[in-house]
Amino acid sequence: MTLVLAATPLGDSRDASPRLAEVLAEADVVAAEDTRRFRTLATTLGVTPRGRVVSFYEDVEAARLPRLLEALRGGQTVVLVTDAGMPSVSDPGYRLVAACVEEGVGVTCVPGPSAVTTALAVSGLPPDRFCFDGFAPRKPGERARWLRELVDQPRTVVFFESPHRLAATLSEAAEVLGADRRAAVCRELTKTYEEVRRGGLGELAAWAADGVRGEITVVVEGAAPRAVALADLVDEVLARVAAGERLKSVAGEVAQAAGVSKKELYDAALKSRG
C-alpha cells in the first residue's frame, strides 16, 4: 500500500522519465487532476494504464479521500498526477499526503519537472537560498500586505501568477520593493513559446502592461542587507538583557542577524551598561 506522487512534464513530453511511464502503467489507481490531460499524456508516452483512473482536482479532493485511502489500506498502489509538475506543490495532493502520513500509509515520489526550480535555475538570480510563496494573493489588500513582508526578505522569492494579474502584481511590487529590484518572469517553461524576461521590477511591469499569456512563474531577488547603526543594536541587546536574557547569548543572536561582529557588539553593550 503506497501512494506515489508522480511529477509530469511541464510542457515537453520528452521530459517524462521511463520510471513515470512504468508507474502509470502498473498502478492500481491513477488519481489525475484532469483525466483527459492524463490520457493524452499516457497516449503520448505509449502507456496503457491497467488500473482505474479517477479525477482528483481541487473541488473533489475531500470527497475522493475516503475511497483512495480505502484502496491504499487494501494494499493497492495509488499514483497521483497533476496537469504539470509535482503534485501538492500549489496543486492537489497535500490533503491526501497528510492523510496517508497520519494513517501510516507509505508515501513515495517519482521526481521530475518543477516550474519552481526550473524558473529559479534560469532566472539568473541567486539560487543558494530561496523561498516559494505559491500563488500571489488575488485581492489587492492581501497582495499589498504580502509584498510588504518581502521588503526585507533576504532570500530569492519564487511565486506563480495568473497572466491576467501579472501586470498589476509587478506594478505593485515595483512600488513596494523598488523599481530596480531584479526579477525574472518565466513564461511557458519548456513549451514552444518559452520566454524568460529579466530586469528590474519597474521594467518588467511596463513590459507586462501590454498583456502576457501562458503559465507564469516569477522570481524576485532577495533584499540587500540594510545598514544598521551599532547603537540601535546595543539598545536591542540591552532591552532583552533587562528582560532576563544573558548578554553573551543575546549579543551573538543579534550580531548574526544583523551581520555585524559579535565581539564588537558585545563590547559596545558592556561599555553601555557601564
State pLDDT tens for residues 26-52.
999 999 999 999 999 999 999 999 999
In this prediction, residue 256 carries a pLDDT of 84
* Cα end-to-end distance, the chain, whole Å: 67
CB half-sphere exposure, 69, CA atoms < 13 A: 18
Instruction: Taking residues 130-141, report their average pLDDT.
Output: 96
In this prediction, residue 132 carries a pLDDT of 98
What grid cell was written down for 72? 491504499
In this prediction, residue 261 carries a pLDDT of 87
Instruction: Taking residues 173-179, report their average pLDDT.
Output: 97
Measured between alpha carbons, how far is 155 from 161 in angstroms, rounded to an integer?
19
Instruction: Taking residues 76-82, report their average pLDDT.
Output: 98
CA-based nearest residue to 28, from 7, 61, 54, 50: 50
Lookup result for grid cell 500549489 = 90
Instruction: Taking residues 62-76, report their average pLDDT.
Output: 97
- Residue 260 banded pLDDT, cuts 50, 70, 90: confident
Contact 57, 38 (CB under 8 A): no
What grid cell was written down for 79? 499514483
DSSP assignment, residue 46? T
- Residue 224 banded pLDDT, cuts 50, 70, 90: confident
User: Which of these ranges, 2-6, 145-149, 212-216, 232-236, has the smallest mean pLDDT?
Assistant: 232-236
**Sheet with strand 195-200: strands edge to edge:** 130-135, 156-161, 216-220, 182-187, 195-200
9 pLDDT above the threshold of 90: yes
Instruction: Taking residues 56-76, report their average pLDDT.
Output: 96
Lookup result for grid cell 511511464 = 21
In this prediction, residue 79 carries a pLDDT of 98
Contact 5, 111 (CB under 8 A): no
Measured between alpha carbons, how far is 118 from 84 in angstroms, rounded to an integer?
13
Residue 265 identity (one-letter amino acid): L
Contact 49, 145 (CB under 8 A): no
Q: At what angle do helices 166-177 and 140-149 cross, to 10 degrees?
A: 40
User: Which of these ranges, 115-119, 191-195, 256-260, has the smallest mean pLDDT?
Assistant: 256-260
CA-based nearest residue to 77, from 48, 102, 106: 106
Collect all residues with Cβ–Cβ distance below 8 Å to 85 and sequence separation of at least 6.
7, 8, 10, 91, 112, 113, 114, 115, 116
DSSP 221-244: PPPPPPP--HHHHHHHHHHHHHTT
Contact 28, 77 (CB under 8 A): yes
Adjacent-strand bridge partners of 30: 53, 79
- Residue 231 banded pLDDT, cuts 50, 70, 90: confident
In this prediction, residue 146 carries a pLDDT of 97
Higher pLDDT, 224 or 171: 171
For 116-129, the pLDDT digits (tens) are 999 999 999 999 99
DSSP assignment, residue 60? G
In this prediction, residue 228 carries a pLDDT of 74
In this prediction, residue 274 carries a pLDDT of 64
